Amino acid sequence: MTDCIFCNIVAGQIPSSKVYEDDEVVAFHDIHPFARVHFLIIPKRHVATLADCTTEHEALLGRMLLLAPRLAKEQGLDAGFKTLINTGRGGGQEVFHIHIHVFGGGEPANRS
Ligand code: AMP
Ligand code: ZN
């Protein structure tokens, strides 16, 4: 096991509720959703933050971003959705393996 939660999810060492997987990218439901639908799109290869990306990551970032509308639609967000990439401590990032939050559909059902 590495000490990166998301690398462990990619490796299948930590369970996740996957909504998508290909050779480079995985998407899974956020464990603490802040909307009725809330999932994360991550690269399989570890990259800590958006600020660590270079031109080498252009195609990967494009692939991740283009998956957002497709997966959002599959998850029932026909009317639209929000995306968020927290970057660095000052940007509120808690898991240092780059991820795109995709969420929408109103308040989560379990929030009082
Ligand atoms: P961020 O603040 O952008 O780094 O967000 C990290 C997100 O990862 C938070 O919304 C967490 O709820 C989510 N998260 C942390 N651990 C897991 C996990 N094991 N499975 C799914 N989502 C997770
Ligand atoms: Zn990682």
CATH match of 5-104 with 3.40.50.2300 = no
Active-site annotation holder among 29, 32, 46, 99: 99
Residues 6+ apart with CB under 8 A from 76: 37, 105
The minimum-distance atom of ligand 1 relative to the CA of 92 is 2
What is the average pLDDT value for the chain, to the nearest integer? 96
Using most ligand atoms within 8 A of CB, pick from 2, 28, 30 the residue to mutate for ligand 1: 30
Ligand 1 in contact with 85 (CB < 6 A)? Answer: no
* C-alpha 5 to ligand 2 mean position (Å): 6
Locate 71 and state its tokens: 């997966």
**pTM, two decimal places:** 0.96
Q: Does residue 1 carry a pLDDT above 70?
A: no
Atom 18 of ligand 1, residue of closest alpha carbon: 31
Under a CB-based contact definition with an 8 Å cutoff, are residues 41 and 25 in contact? yes
37-67 tens-digit pLDDT? 999 999 999 999 999 999 999 999 999 999 9
